[in-house]
Structure 1
Amino acid sequence: MRRSFALIAIVLVAVNLRPGATSPGPVLAELQDGLGMSEGLAGALTGLPGLCFGVIGLLAVTLARLVGTTFGIGIGLVAVVAGLLLRSLARDPGVFLVLSALALGGMALGNVLVPAWIKSHPAQQVLLQTVFGAGLMVGGASAALLTAPVADSGGGWRPALGLWGLPAALAVPLWLWLGIREHRLPADHRSPLAQPNLGLVRSPTTVALTAMFGIQSMQAYVQFGWLPQIYRDAGLSAAAAGSLTALLTGIGFLGALSMPSIIERGRGLRAWMASFGVLLIAGYLGLFLAPATLPWLWAVLLGVSGFAFPTAMALLTARTRDPAVTAQVSGFVQPIGYLLAALGPFGVGLLHAATGGWTLVLIVLAAFGIPLSWFSVRLAGPTFVDDELPA
C-alpha cells in the first residue's frame, strides 16, 4: 500500500476510537438529568467502554478471520457512526446504554485489529504506531475539551454528543474500500488472520503486558468518566472540568509521539516505566489534598502517568516479531485488560454513592500505582512473546 494511503487510513481510524468514551464525562450531570439516569446507571455508563472493549475485543480476531482484518475495522467504524448518532436521540437511559455499547463495540474492533494491520506494514511500523497512538490521544482529548462548550452554546448535551459520529462517518468509505481491495489480493498479501492462542497465558511478557494495560486502562476510563465530576464537586465549572480532562488526555499525545521511538532505542525505558505508577500516586494525592488549588498540576501528573497507555500499545508490536503473533497478543491483552478496566469506573460509582465523597475513591485509585510500576518495569527488557510460546 502506498505510504500516504496507510497514513490517512490510520489517522482516520485513530481519532474515532475514543470520542465515544470521553465525550459523556464532561456533561454527565446534564445527561443524568435529561434521561433520568440513576447513579448506578451513570456508573455503568462510565464502565461501559472497558466492558465493551473487553467483550467485543474477544470476538475481534474471530470476526477478522471471517471478513478480513481491514474489512473488520471498516465494520467497526460503521457501528461507531450508528451508535454515536442514534444515542444522541435516545429518550430512555436503557436505550442510551445499548446504543453506547454499539458504538463502543465498533471501537473495540479497531482497538484489537489496527495493531495487527500496522504490523503487516513493517516498513512503516514505527511511524504508523506513532500516528495511531497520537490519533487516539487527539480524538479523546478533543471530545473531552469540546463537548461541554458545545452543550453550553445552547444546543444541550444531545448534539454535543451526537456530533462525534460525523468524523467517524468520514472514515467509513476509505476503510470499506480498503477492505474490498484487500479481498482481491492473494492470500499471502493480506493482513494477518490469527486464531486466538490460549498458550499466551504461559508468556511472562504477555501476562505483564496484560496487567499493565488493564491497570492503565482502568485508570484512564475512571478519569474520563469521573474526573470531571471530581473537579466540579471541588467547585470548578463544567467547561473548566472538561478542559482539565482534555489537558490530561492531550498530554498523552506527547507520550504517543515519543514512546514508540524510546522503546525502539531501548535507552531510558526502565526509568519511564517506573515513573508511571509514581506519577499516578502523586496526581491522586494532589486531588485528595487540594483539588481546586492547582487543578492543572494534578491533571498534568496524571496525564504523564498516562504515557503508560501509548507505551502498552506500542509494546504490542515491539514485543512480537510475527504479525500473526501480534494479532494473537493484541486479541488477548486488550480484551482481558479492558475487562479488568471495566470494573474500575463502575466500582468508583458505587464507592462514591456509598461514601458520599471522593476520599476513599482517591486512596484506592492511588494504590494501583504500585502494581502499575511493577509490571511496567518487567516489560522494559527486550523480550519477545514469540520466544516464550510453547513449541
Structure 2
Amino acid sequence: MSTIRASSGGLALLVAVLAFALNLRTPITSLPPVMADVADGLGLDQTLAGLLVGLPALCFSVVAPAASALIARLGPYPAVTVALVGVVAGTLVRSAGSGTAGVVAAFTGTVLLGAAITVGNVVVPVIIARDFADRTAPATGLYSSVMNLGSVLATSLTAPLAALLGWQGAVASWSLMAVAALVVWLATTRGAGRPGTARAVRGPAAAPAADRPAPERPDETWAGVLRRPLTWVLSLAFAGQSFSYYAVTGWLPELLRDLLGVSVTTAGNAAAPFQGLAIAGSVLVPLVLATRAPMRVAAVAMGLLWAVLPAGLLLAPQWWLVWVCLSGIAQGGNFVVIFTVAAQRCRTVAQTRRTVAAVQTVGYAVAATAPSVIGAVHAASGGWTAALLVMLGSTLTLGVAEVVATRRPRPRPA
C-alpha cells in the first residue's frame, strides 16, 4: 500500500467530499421529527419505531469491517460513488409503500442507508488522510461541520416539508441532495481512483497514486492494526463520545421535562443547540491547532466541555441551556480530535482504513446500547441521578482516552 504523503488534494476535491458529507447524517436525523406520523402511517408500536431510528447506529458497527474491505477492493473514490447511490436508493425505498409492504420497505431502506453511510463514515477519513495529509485537522473539521449542518437542516426542515408533502414525501425529498452530491462527485473524480490506474482529479492539483493492491506490511493487516495500542485507545474514546451523543439525543427532552417541568416544545427544541453548536466545535478545534497549540490541549478542553452536561444537570439543572450548548460544542470538537489523531498517526492508507473501521466498529456498538442502558438505569433507580452519573462516566472515559491518545509518540529508532 502506498505510504501517506504530503497533501495534493485540491479545492474541487474538498468541495466534493463536503457535498458527500452533507448526506451522511440527513437520512438519519430526518426521521425523528416525523416519527409519530411514520408510526401511525405504518402501524408501528413504540418498540419497532425506536428500532427504525436506532438501526443505522447498529449498522455503523456491524458493517464497518465489510466497508473497509469494499474500500480496499474498489478504491476510496469509487467507494464514495457506491455510498451515494446507496443513500439515494435507501432513502427512496424507506419511504415507499404502506401497510405491511411499507413496513418491510422502511426497514429494508433503513438497513441499506445504514450500510451506505457506514462506507462513508470509513472512507472520508481515509480520503482526508491520503489527499489532505498536511491539512488533516481543518479538513476533518470541515467534514464534521458539514455533517452536523446536514443534521440541523434535516431536523429543522423535515416537519415543515411533511406538512406539505406528507411524511413519505418529506423523508424521500432528502434523496435530491444526495443526487446533487453524486453529480458533483462524479464530475470531480471522473477517471480517478480505479485500482491500477493513475488518478487525474479535476482541481488545482492532482491527487497521489491510488491505493493499489500490493503486499501488506505487518502493521497494515487487521492483526497488526488491532495490536496497536492507539487503535484501542481511540476506540475507547469514540465509544465514550458515541455513547454520550446517543444518550443525550435519546433522553434529553424527557430528562428536562422531569427535572424542570419545561414544556414539551421547549424540551424538544433543546436538541437544536446541541446539534447546531457541534458546527462551532468542529471549527474551533482546527483554529486552536492552527495556533500551534498541542492536540492534547484541544482534547482536554473538549473532554471537560462534554463532562459539563451531566455534571451541570446534577448540580445546577436550572442552567440546562448553558450545559447543552457547551456539550454541543464538545461533541463536534471531539469528533475532530479523534479522527485527526487517527489520520496523523497512521502511516499508510491501509492502516488508516482499518484503524478507522476498528474505531467505528467498537464505538458504534457501544453507542447502540446507550438509549436502552440510560432508559434501564432511569427506570430501575426511579430518577435521573444514576443515569446522569452513567453519562458522566462515559464522558470522563472519553476525556481520559483522548489524553492518552494525544500524547506525543516516542521517536522510532533509526
Deviates more, 1:257-266 or 1:40-49: 257-266
- Cα distance in 2, alignment partners of residues 264 and 379 from structure 1: 19
Percent identity among equivalent residues?
30
Determine which of 100, 115, 119 is the counterpart of 2:110: 100
* 1:147 aligned onto 2:158: yes
Cα offsets for 1:39-65 (capped at 9, x unmatched): 333443343232111112111121122
Counterpart in the other structure of 2:120: 110
Counterpart in the other structure of 2:179: 169
Cα offsets for 1:148-174 (capped at 9, x unmatched): 3444x4544333322222211111233
Alpha-carbon contact 2:57-2:365 (below 8 Å) kept:
yes
- Cα distance in 1, alignment partners of residues 104 and 389 from structure 2: 32
- TM (norm. structure 2) is 0.80
- Deviation at residue 80 of structure 1 after TM alignment: 0.8
Alpha-carbon contact 2:94-2:105 (below 8 Å) kept:
yes
- Cα distance in 1, alignment partners of residues 146 and 348 from structure 2: 25
- Cα distance in 2, alignment partners of residues 49 and 232 from structure 1: 27
Determine which of 196, 206, 210 is the counterpart of 2:231: 206
- Deviation at residue 343 of structure 1 after TM alignment: 1.8
- Deviation at residue 258 of structure 1 after TM alignment: 2.7
- Deviation at residue 185 of structure 1 after TM alignment: 3.1
- Deviation at residue 336 of structure 1 after TM alignment: 2.3
Residues 85 and 68 (structure 1), Cα distance of their counterparts in 2 relative to 1, 3 Å cut: same
Determine which of 312, 317, 321 is the counterpart of 1:296: 321
Counterpart in the other structure of 1:136: 147
Counterpart in the other structure of 2:210: 190
- Deviation at residue 35 of structure 1 after TM alignment: 3.0
Alpha-carbon contact 2:138-2:283 (below 8 Å) kept:
no
Aligned length: 384
Residues 181 and 269 (structure 1), Cα distance of their counterparts in 2 relative to 1, 3 Å cut: closer
Residues 36 and 201 (structure 1), Cα distance of their counterparts in 2 relative to 1, 3 Å cut: same
Deviates more, 1:282-291 or 1:241-250: 282-291
Residues 225 and 165 (structure 1), Cα distance of their counterparts in 2 relative to 1, 3 Å cut: farther
- Cα distance in 1, alignment partners of residues 127 and 251 from structure 2: 33
Counterpart in the other structure of 1:222: 247
- Deviation at residue 346 of structure 1 after TM alignment: 4.0
The SS at the match of 1:89 is coil
Determine which of 28, 48, 56 is the counterpart of 2:55: 48
* 1:377 aligned onto 2:403: yes
The SS at the match of 1:32 is helix
Q: Superposition RMSD on alpha carbons, in Å?
A: 3.2
Counterpart in the other structure of 1:8: 15
- Deviation at residue 213 of structure 1 after TM alignment: 0.9
- Cα distance in 2, alignment partners of residues 196 and 41 from structure 1: 38
Determine which of 80, 84, 93 is the counterpart of 1:77: 84
Determine which of 19, 26, 37 is the counterpart of 1:19: 26
- Cα distance in 2, alignment partners of residues 265 and 52 from structure 1: 38
Residues 163 and 366 (structure 1), Cα distance of their counterparts in 2 relative to 1, 3 Å cut: farther
- Cα distance in 2, alignment partners of residues 40 and 351 from structure 1: 18
Residues 3 and 340 (structure 1), Cα distance of their counterparts in 2 relative to 1, 3 Å cut: same
- Deviation at residue 300 of structure 1 after TM alignment: 0.5
Cα offsets for 1:155-199 (capped at 9, x unmatched): 443333222222111112333452643228338711477765222
The SS at the match of 2:192 is helix
- Cα distance in 1, alignment partners of residues 392 and 39 from structure 2: 27
Name the aligned partner's letter for residue 250 of structure 1: G
* 1:68 aligned onto 2:93: no
Name the aligned partner's letter for residue 106 of structure 1: A
Deviates more, 1:181-190 or 1:213-222: 181-190
Cα offsets for 1:301-359 (capped at 9, x unmatched): 32123121222122221222333322221122122222222221343455567778755
Name the aligned partner's letter for residue 143 of structure 1: A
- Deviation at residue 129 of structure 1 after TM alignment: 2.5
Deviates more, 1:5-14 or 1:182-191: 182-191
Alpha-carbon contact 2:144-2:282 (below 8 Å) kept:
yes
- Cα distance in 2, alignment partners of residues 352 and 154 from structure 1: 38
- Structure 1 residue runs without a partner (length 5+): none
Alpha-carbon contact 1:52-1:105 (below 8 Å) kept:
yes
- Cα distance in 2, alignment partners of residues 251 and 367 from structure 1: 23
- Deviation at residue 95 of structure 1 after TM alignment: 3.6
Alpha-carbon contact 1:212-1:312 (below 8 Å) kept:
yes
The SS at the match of 1:189 is coil
